[in-house]
Structure 1
Amino acid sequence: MATPNFFALSAKDKKHEEISMKQFEGKVVLVVNVASKCGFTKQYAGLEELYKKYKDQGFVIIGFPCNQFGGQEPGDNDEIESFCQVNFGVTFPLMDKVDVNGDNEDPVYTYLKSQKKSLMMARIKWNFEKFLIAKDGTVYERYASTTAPESIAKDVEKLLKA
């Protein structure tokens, strides 16, 4: 049976406990595959800024650490969280480390990629690809790794007002 929307999914949090995305229903959600040793790692700062600006209006960012691209997320969940807090002041939720492509990819990414392909390809190409999900659980947009978080603000605002 096809997944009706993002909020029907679940994933493991940083403590390896299964949590339902249903808890985010009615919010605008940005899902990002993150890494600590990537050229795009500095985007953590922009993501945190975006989160702080809109979180009280019903916006959440969910980071999914991933080590599939150049081994750029080698740490365990505690090391990743510590790195993000110390270096970028990250307060948005970080999940369990996942694969975003291949046989062991997380079901969240299987769903997101099925909804929005990039250049006609479903595969995640690199760290810090982003998916913006509307309040109703539909995938609104997919952004490349090179897309700066601040440039997504206009879409976040549009979805928050919808």
Structure 2
Amino acid sequence: MKQPTQIVAKTDYIGRGAVVTVPQSIEPWHTRCLREQLLWLLNERLDEVVIDFTPTISCTSAMSEALERVYTRTRARGIGLSLVLDQDSPPAKALEESGLTRMLPVHADRAEAERGLRERAASPARRRRGQESSTVPPPRSGPVAQAS
């Protein structure tokens, strides 16, 4: 019997956001580990998280359930969430059934997503609110959503 392995998605921090690159294959037993990694990442006080599915060639439908949980948490914490998906790819088909591709911004490629993160990090509107553009964000203020 094959033993489930823990997968770790690669995370690149850009400005006040992060791009999470999902592995090539997402099996049913991987989704829990990936969901936990994404939920943990949301505790890092980021403004936006981009999940890159372009290297993924095999994706289980359970990934949509994991992403729904992440989406709920980002909404509760005021964090932006978007996806990088190739049209007609296995992840796009799996996530389309859940409706997530209609609710979340979808980038055509990773370069577009990274450019958007850099532009928002350098935005003069952020500096006017007293927030400097840096890789280490200040603590969030206000109520903190509790995990369910």
Q: What TM-score does the superposition give when structure 1 sets the normalisation length?
A: 0.34
Q: Give 1 or 2 for the bigger CA radius of gyration.
A: 2
Q: What TM-score does the superposition give when structure 2 sets the normalisation length?
A: 0.36
Higher helix share: 2
